[in-house]
Structure formats: C-alpha cells, structure tokens
Chain A
Amino acid sequence: MTKSVQVRDVSKAFAGHAVLRGVDFAVEPGKIAALLGPSGCGKTTLLRAIAGFDRIDGGEILIDGARVSGSGSHLPPEKRRVGYVPQEGALFPHLTVAGNVGYGLKRRERTRERIGAALALVGLEALMERYPHQLSGGQQQRVALARALAPGPKLVVLDEPFNGLDLDLRRSLCAEVTAALQRAGASAVLVTHDPEEAFASADVVAVMQEGRIAQQDEPRAVYRRPASAAVARITGGAIFLEATVTGAAAETPLGPAALVAAPPQGDGRASVCVRPEQIVLGAPGQAATVVERSFRGDHDLLTVTVGERRLSVRAPAHPDSGLDAIRLRIEGPCVAFPPVA
C-alpha cells in the first residue's frame, strides 16, 4: 500500500552542522505518527522538510507516492497540500476565526458551511467571529488545527502543538486533536519531546536521536522494548541495574528479572533497564533500607539503598512518614543492554 509519507535516507545540514543523518521514516494512510526526541535531535527539521519549508541535502521524500523532495527537485510548500500546525498555533492576528479557517480555501469554497464544518471537527463552530486574541490558548490551537484541516489535506504535520499549555489542557487537547484528525481521516506527523503525549496520541512512535530514527514502533513496543539505552531514557523513566544475564533471565541487585528476549550480545554482564513501575514493594524480595521518604500527594517517593545502590522508588502514600526496612522486587520483563564500560 502507498505510504502517506515516505522519507528515505534524508540528510540535511545547517552551516556545516549535520542535523539529519540518513532518516528513514514512513506513515501509513490514516495513521498518526509521533516524532519523539530531545530538543536538537532534528525532529522539527524533519517536519519542516516534509512540509516543504526547508530543502533537503540528500535522500528523498514522497507524499502519497509522489516525490516532493529529492534529487535536486523541491516542490514548494503551497503545492504539497500538507496541513501545518506550528507551535503556539500562529493564528493570523488580523483575521477572525472564520477568516483564519477560510484562508486556505478557494474563494468560492469559502462559505460559512465549509468553514463551519472545519470548525465542527474541533468543536468551535460558535467562535467564528472572534479574533485570535479573544481565544484561550487551547482554543487557538484547535482553530489552528481546523485551519490546517479545512482544505482537506491527506497529511497534517504538527510541531509541538501543545507546548506552552498547562498539563490538564495538554491532556484533554491531545485527545481532542487525535479525535479530530481521525474524523478528518488525515494522516499526521506530530513532533513532541513529551513521551506521554506521543504515546497518548500516536499509532506509531518514531524515536529520534542525533539526526536518525533510533526506533519506530507501536507506543507499547517502544516503551517495553526500547532499542537502546538512549531510547529507553527518551521514552520515559528508566533505571539501569548492573546484572548478570543467563539466556532470557538476569540476576540484578534487586533479585531476579525476566528479559523480553535473550540479548544479542549473549550471556554475561549486562545493564538491565527497568521501568520505575516495575519495581514493586513487598515480600518476597530483596531487603532495602529507606533513607528518605518524600511526600508527593498521591504517592510517596522513597530513596532507598540496596547494598551500595541508591534508588528512587514510588510507594503508596503512607500515613506515617517513618523510615524503615522494606523489600523490593522486579515485576514483568525487562531489556538488557551491553554493560556500561
């Protein structure tokens, strides 16, 4: 099947500094892909290359099977029909909501019905006559999405669209945006540095690191089976334990741990990646000493020592804040990486 967008071996340098180093990336029609990575990893550059704002130095980009960038050719952004939602929305301040949403429509298509239909996708039909400065941050982002969706693009790219919004709003908006994209039947590429946002909104997560795609898979797979220690850190909390591997099992300072698979490097010393929620309190388990108990509302954060190792462990909020000895164990399969030199 033709990919909605296909990126092949794309490279790009700014002033001699390589930002994209052979990126391969694809999105199936109707799917939402998240580009997840730390700042400076090249994810925004890749997004801008797909939208056509920046030229690429090598490789090629295909949208719906047609080449738009590569081999010296570059289709300008206005010919690509790729919807674009920048950071903070960037609504045109001199136009009303209706003016913004109608901006990308041909003159005869610029009807109230058409604009209303686009706004209905994000549930804001009532705000047509407002100006951007009269909208809240979340409303501005939703209008920006409606504006991008109005001309009916097959692909929408979103550049950290929820940046600068508070946490509650981020979560609810994330769900609404995903729903709107699905209703519109558009594929989407969403750039973010927040793993929670990527997992919640995307069908596929591509983890970017230093100008390359380090791993591209379903959200659960990326989280449970990170391809490298770096991917593990980018995708959430990760605790690395010195361990000895035998087949698909490991012996760690916190006791035995199952591995998702026997590691390619074989038996011997390894560094095992454990997600914080995989460390469970209670017997049976390894004895640990609580050094500090910090109240965090719905849970307590314990600082514990196991032998020489110091760890932070989440525990249910405890009415008395005493310090005592506890037992810890690892639940669920982990991933083993070659030992840190």
Chain B
Amino acid sequence: MSLASRRWESAPPLWLALAALVPCLLIALPLVYVALRASEAGAAGVAAELIRPRTLELLLNTVALGVSVTVISSVLGVAAAWCVERSDIPFRPFWRIAAALPLAVPAFVASFAWASIDVAFQGMAGAILILSLSHFPLVYLPVAAALRGMDPAFEDVSRSLGRSPARTFFGVVLPQAWPALGAGALLVLTHMLAEFGALALLRVQTFTTAIFASYELQFDSATAALQSAVLLALTLPAAFGEMRLRRGVRVSRSGRGARRTQRAIALGRAKPFVLAGLAALIALSTAVPAGMLVYWAAVGASTTRGLPDIWPAIGGTLSLALPGAVIVTALALPLVLAAIRHPGPASRLVDRLPYVVHGLPGVVVALALTFFAIRFLPDLYQTSALLFAAYAALFLPLAQSALRASVELAPPRLEEVARSLGKGPFLAFVSVTLPAILPGVGASLALMTLELARELTATLLLAPIGVTTLATEVWSRANDGQYAAAAPFAALLVALSALPVYVFTRRSLELHDL
C-alpha cells in the first residue's frame, strides 16, 4: 500500500512532461536544422561543401584553439586554486575572489582591450593567450572548491606511507580533484568551440566566425548549415562529457567524523615568487583589460564621441534582458521542481539536458531558429520571441542552478502539511511553496538579467532591427577599430558583470562548506 502510493507520488505529472519538452525541443532544433539542410543538399552536395581545404583549415584552427586554451586554462586554474586554497599565501581572501574576477570581463571585451594595445595580439597566438587568461577561472573555481572540501586525512595517510608532499599532490590530491578539473576543462572547451565575438575581433578563423560570415552573406546558406554540422559534431561530445562529469563532482569525504581543517603548506623561500606569479596572472587577466577600458574611455571622453548612443543601448539591453530573464526563469522552475520532487532517470535527464544545450554555439542556435522561423512561422522572424528562445537554450542551466538551492529548502513535506490542513494541490503550492522559493526566484531573475545583458552572439544575430544593446554596440565599434567609442559601453558591461561574478564565486567556493 505504502509502496503503491510512493510509486504514484513519483510518477511525473502532466505539467512535468510538458516542461520536459522545452529542453528536448531546444536541443532538437539545431540537430533537425542541420539534418534537414544536409538532406536537401544531398550526399554529393555535402561532400562538395565539406571536402575543401577551407573546411580543414577551419577544423585545424578550431581544434588547435580549443585544445590549447583548455590545456593552458587547466594549468593556470589548478595552480591558482592550489596557491589560494593550500599554500600559506598572504591575503588569501583577496586572492580567492581576485582569481575569479576575469569572469567579469566578457571575452570579447578582453579581446578588444588587448587588440587595442597592439595588432600583434590579433591572430592565433594572441587568441590563445587572451582566451586562456579570461577562461582559467572556469577551472579555478571548481578545483578550488574541491581542494577546500577534501578530507586532509587522505594527505596525512599518504605522507605516513612515505610519499613526499609533491608525490602526495599527484598521487592523492589531483586524482580526487579530477572530476572537478575535468568538468571545468570541458566547460572551457565548449566555450572555445562556441566562442564568436572574441575570435572575430582577434581575426581568427574558426567555424563560428565562418558560419557567421556565411550567414551574413546569405542567411539560408548551405555552407553555414554544413559548417554548423561539423561544429555540432565537435561540441556535443564535449558538452555531454561535461554534463556527465558534473554529475560526478562531489567531494569525497571519509565518513561522518569531524573534519579537520586544512593546514596550509608553507611556501618558504618560494613565497615571493608565487605571490608575484599570482599577481601577474590577475594583472594580465583583469587589470590590463580594465586599464585599457579606462584609458580608451578617457580618450573618448575628451572627444565626446559615442556617448549619446549609450541611452538607446541601455534601453535596448533592458528591453531584451528583463523579459528574457523572466522567461528563462519561468522555464527553468518546472525543470528544477521535477528534478527535486520526482527523482528518477527521466527527470534527471530533463534536468541535465539543458547543460548540453548550453554548450551549443550561439551562432548555430540562432541560425537554426532563423531557419525554422522563416520556413514555418514567418511572423516570428525579426521579433524578440526568437531571441528569447535562443536565451532559453543558452542560459537555462544558469537559472536552474540559481533556483535549485531555494527549491531544496521548500521540501514537499510542507505542501503535504498544507494538504492535510485542507488546501488543494494548487493552493498548497501557491500558499506554501511559492513564498518559500520567492527569494531564489528573485536571485535567479537578477542573475539572469545581468548575464543576458552581456550576451553577444545570439543578440547580434536575432535582435529585431534597430535594437542595440551594450554588447552589440561594443562589438560593432570595436570591430571597426573605434576603440575609444566602444570603451564606455564596455566599461558599463564590466561593471554590470561584477555582481554576478561575485555571487557565482561565493556560491562555487562555499558550496562544500554546507
């Protein structure tokens, strides 16, 4: 009897099935688009499009960039995490936040800042340097959290068995941080495969910039579609891998015993060098771009160019980011409720699928949405609706993780009590659960608004004609080499980004202290 009722409880209701359609649809769109265009072109057409030196060149560039940036980011991220969490470095609380700050500078802003110093920073080598500097925090944050949460008993045991501190690090610490490192590295890789703005500004030819160029030339181009197919083939395994590893990221702790606090490893004579290295890393990744923005803003202020355009850009940003945040949060809430209230393989997949969609390149998502709108829903073309759909594809996971903590704080027990006191299911949800999760919803809305405000690729491709945002203004001006004109917009973007980065950093690093 109790078993039967339990089974009935965990059977997903209809609303859940409907909610699950959203991520499935979002992931299906680009795949179906690519498949449709490929079948239209036919085998000979596909071969003619793909078997060209141009495709090979793009493939080599994309892979070289992705692999190099991932490897360098991983090394920088692990080193920074170790210094901040394990060594006796002075001013640790400052470094802990500072090492995540590069996330506040969108990659395309960092790229234009570096490119404005010297054209030498354009090209593949420059792109690898700049993108590594701006993406290592994606490795640093999870690895730092893993190092912090690790049970020091493992290291004690390793030392007592005769292994030196260095061999203990490679034998025990790193293997346990591996899921966190792997997830972070794959996230960097998916970002690299999807990156567009930075690469366009740095004049590096990869699939994303090529697809964008083909699209600008002719929006329904077979070349763009087939290049998208190759890019998806590169991206999907990385995104799936990240999703799988992310699930495995849990810090292993031995049992319930009291956890001993970590003892910092004395750097000794190496301390000044480590300190200098860390300072150089933060300076190159954050201070140089920020400094260049200030410099160009000062130059721009003396010529007063560009400033009148800032109000339409702010208005455009808000008109897209605010409704976008509401829509994405509303789509994410049922997914989170499903995963927590009705645990099972189906709801787990539905909960995790957006993380794969999130890894899809914005260019491809935008292209697919345009394709379907023109073919089947022409009224939607050139409206904000398409852009909101793209936002959902790209940002659902962010809203999900923002909502998850507060939904977990509103256990179904509360609703059951309300039901036992005579409230119907809907009323019970509205009167008990909703008030409990409202703070989380508010946090998600704020975070999403700020994140959407800095989105470039999908906005550039899908925003209704005449609507500009801070991000698109930065891009178009920087792309024309008008650095002084771009700087005020970029500075505003960076300032807006600081808050979500701070929240994200605190959440990542304190997660395991719960």
- A: which residues have CB within 8 A of B? 48, 51-53, 76-84, 86-95, 103-104, 137, 144, 147-148, 151, 160, 163-164
The answer to whether B154 and A92 touch across the interface, beta carbons within 8 angstroms, is yes
Contacting residue for B159 out of A76, A94, A137, A163, CB 8 A: A76
Write out the residue numbers on chain B whose beta carbons fall within 8 Å of the beta carbon of A137: 255
Complex Cα distance, B303 from A101, in Å, reads 72
Complex Cα distance, B265 from A53, in Å, reads 12
The answer to whether B252 and A93 touch across the interface, beta carbons within 8 angstroms, is yes
Complex Cα distance, B159 from A77, in Å, reads 6
Nearest residue, chain A, Cβ from B151: A90
The answer to whether A88 and B160 touch across the interface, beta carbons within 8 angstroms, is no
Complex Cα distance, B150 from A93, in Å, reads 11
CB pairs A–B below 8 angstroms (10 shown): A51-B156, A78-B161, A78-B163, A86-B156, A87-B258, A90-B254, A94-B176, A95-B175, A103-B158, A103-B171
Write out the residue numbers on chain A whose beta carbons fall within 8 Å of the beta carbon of B255: 87-89, 137, 164
Nearest residue, chain A, Cβ from B156: A53
Nearest residue, chain A, Cβ from B258: A87
Nearest chain A CB to B147's CB is how many angstroms away? 15
The answer to whether A148 and B158 touch across the interface, beta carbons within 8 angstroms, is no
The answer to whether A88 and B161 touch across the interface, beta carbons within 8 angstroms, is no
Evaluate whether A78 and B164 lie within 8 angstroms (CB atoms) in the complex, with A88-B256, A103-B158, A163-B257 already known: yes
Write out the residue numbers on chain B whose beta carbons fall within 8 Å of the beta carbon of A144: 157
Complex Cα distance, B256 from A92, in Å, reads 16
Write out the residue numbers on chain A whose beta carbons fall within 8 Å of the beta carbon of B156: 48, 51, 53, 77, 84, 86, 90
Q: Which of B226-252 contact A (CB under 8 A)?
A: 252
- B: which residues have CB within 8 A of A? 151, 153-154, 156-164, 171-172, 175-176, 178, 252, 254-258
The answer to whether B153 and A90 touch across the interface, beta carbons within 8 angstroms, is yes
5 nearest interchain CB pairs?
A104-B161, A88-B255, A84-B160, A90-B153, A87-B257
Write out the residue numbers on chain B whose beta carbons fall within 8 Å of the beta carbon of A76: 159, 164
Complex Cα distance, B258 from A164, in Å, reads 11
Write out the residue numbers on chain B whose beta carbons fall within 8 Å of the beta carbon of A48: 156
The answer to whether A90 and B176 touch across the interface, beta carbons within 8 angstroms, is no
19 additional contacts (CB under 8 A) given A79-B162, A87-B255, A90-B154: A51-B156, A76-B164, A77-B156, A78-B159, A78-B161, A80-B160, A87-B258, A88-B153, A88-B254, A92-B175, A92-B176, A93-B176, A93-B252, A94-B176, A103-B158, A103-B163, A104-B162, A148-B160, A160-B257
Write out the residue numbers on chain B whose beta carbons fall within 8 Å of the beta carbon of A51: 156, 160
Write out the residue numbers on chain A whose beta carbons fall within 8 Å of the beta carbon of B159: 52-53, 76-78
Complex Cα distance, B455 from A172, in Å, reads 62
Nearest residue, chain B, Cβ from A48: B156
Nearest residue, chain B, Cβ from A39: B258
Nearest chain A CB to B334's CB is how many angstroms away? 33
Write out the residue numbers on chain A whose beta carbons fall within 8 Å of the beta carbon of B160: 51-53, 77-78, 80, 82-84, 104, 148
Nearest chain A CB to B306's CB is how many angstroms away? 54
Complex Cα distance, B254 from A164, in Å, reads 11
Complex Cα distance, B39 from A206, in Å, reads 82
Nearest chain B CB to A129's CB is how many angstroms away? 18
Complex Cα distance, B178 from A78, in Å, reads 24
Nearest chain B CB to A195's CB is how many angstroms away? 20
Nearest chain A CB to B178's CB is how many angstroms away? 7
Nearest residue, chain A, Cβ from B252: A93
The A contact surface, by secondary structure, is loop
Complex Cα distance, B256 from A87, in Å, reads 9
Complex Cα distance, B256 from A51, in Å, reads 23
Complex Cα distance, B162 from A84, in Å, reads 11
Write out the residue numbers on chain B whose beta carbons fall within 8 Å of the beta carbon of A164: 255-257
Write out the residue numbers on chain A whose beta carbons fall within 8 Å of the beta carbon of B157: 84, 86, 90, 92, 144, 147-148
Nearest residue, chain A, Cβ from B167: A78
Nearest chain A CB to B198's CB is how many angstroms away? 36
Complex Cα distance, B158 from A148, in Å, reads 10
Nearest residue, chain A, Cβ from B256: A164
Write out the residue numbers on chain A whose beta carbons fall within 8 Å of the beta carbon of B171: 103
Nearest chain A CB to B449's CB is how many angstroms away? 40
Write out the residue numbers on chain A whose beta carbons fall within 8 Å of the beta carbon of B176: 92-94
Q: Which of A78, A82, A163 has the most CB of B within 10 A?
A: A78
Write out the residue numbers on chain B whose beta carbons fall within 8 Å of the beta carbon of A93: 176, 252
Evaluate whether A86 and B256 lie within 8 angstroms (CB atoms) in the complex, with A103-B158, A104-B161, A151-B162 already known: no
Nearest residue, chain B, Cβ from A157: B160
The answer to whether A92 and B163 touch across the interface, beta carbons within 8 angstroms, is no
The answer to whether B254 and A86 touch across the interface, beta carbons within 8 angstroms, is yes
Complex Cα distance, B258 from A77, in Å, reads 22
Nearest chain A CB to B242's CB is how many angstroms away? 20
Nearest chain B CB to A329's CB is how many angstroms away? 44
Nearest chain A CB to B166's CB is how many angstroms away? 11
The answer to whether B257 and A88 touch across the interface, beta carbons within 8 angstroms, is yes
The answer to whether A81 and B162 touch across the interface, beta carbons within 8 angstroms, is yes
Nearest chain A CB to B12's CB is how many angstroms away? 29
Write out the residue numbers on chain B whose beta carbons fall within 8 Å of the beta carbon of A83: 160-161
Write out the residue numbers on chain B whose beta carbons fall within 8 Å of the beta carbon of A53: 156, 159-160
Complex Cα distance, B161 from A92, in Å, reads 13
Complex Cα distance, B164 from A142, in Å, reads 25
Write out the residue numbers on chain A whose beta carbons fall within 8 Å of the beta carbon of B258: 87
Nearest residue, chain A, Cβ from B161: A104
Nearest residue, chain A, Cβ from B158: A103
Complex Cα distance, B166 from A78, in Å, reads 11
The answer to whether A103 and B161 touch across the interface, beta carbons within 8 angstroms, is yes
Nearest chain B CB to A95's CB is how many angstroms away? 8
Nearest chain B CB to A119's CB is how many angstroms away? 15
Evaluate whether A92 and B164 lie within 8 angstroms (CB atoms) in the complex, with A84-B157, A86-B157 already known: no
Complex Cα distance, B157 from A91, in Å, reads 9
Write out the residue numbers on chain B whose beta carbons fall within 8 Å of the beta carbon of A163: 257
Complex Cα distance, B154 from A103, in Å, reads 12
Complex Cα distance, B256 from A164, in Å, reads 7
Nearest chain B CB to A38's CB is how many angstroms away? 15
Nearest chain B CB to A54's CB is how many angstroms away? 8
Complex Cα distance, B178 from A57, in Å, reads 37
Write out the residue numbers on chain A whose beta carbons fall within 8 Å of the beta carbon of B164: 76, 78
Write out the residue numbers on chain B whose beta carbons fall within 8 Å of the beta carbon of A151: 161-162
Write out the residue numbers on chain B whose beta carbons fall within 8 Å of the beta carbon of A82: 160
Write out the residue numbers on chain A whose beta carbons fall within 8 Å of the beta carbon of B154: 90, 92
Complex Cα distance, B505 from A167, in Å, reads 43
Complex Cα distance, B248 from A93, in Å, reads 13
Complex Cα distance, B178 from A82, in Å, reads 29
Nearest residue, chain B, Cβ from A100: B157
Nearest residue, chain B, Cβ from A94: B175
Complex Cα distance, B156 from A151, in Å, reads 16
Complex Cα distance, B156 from A80, in Å, reads 12
Nearest chain B CB to A12's CB is how many angstroms away? 14
Contacting residue for A147 out of B161, B172, B254, B256, CB 8 A: B161
Q: Which of A51, A81, A90, A148 has the most CB of B within 10 A?
A: A90
Complex Cα distance, B255 from A323, in Å, reads 46
Complex Cα distance, B494 from A55, in Å, reads 47
Complex Cα distance, B161 from A84, in Å, reads 8
Write out the residue numbers on chain A whose beta carbons fall within 8 Å of the beta carbon of B158: 92, 103
The answer to whether B254 and A89 touch across the interface, beta carbons within 8 angstroms, is yes
Nearest residue, chain B, Cβ from A91: B254
Complex Cα distance, B257 from A163, in Å, reads 8
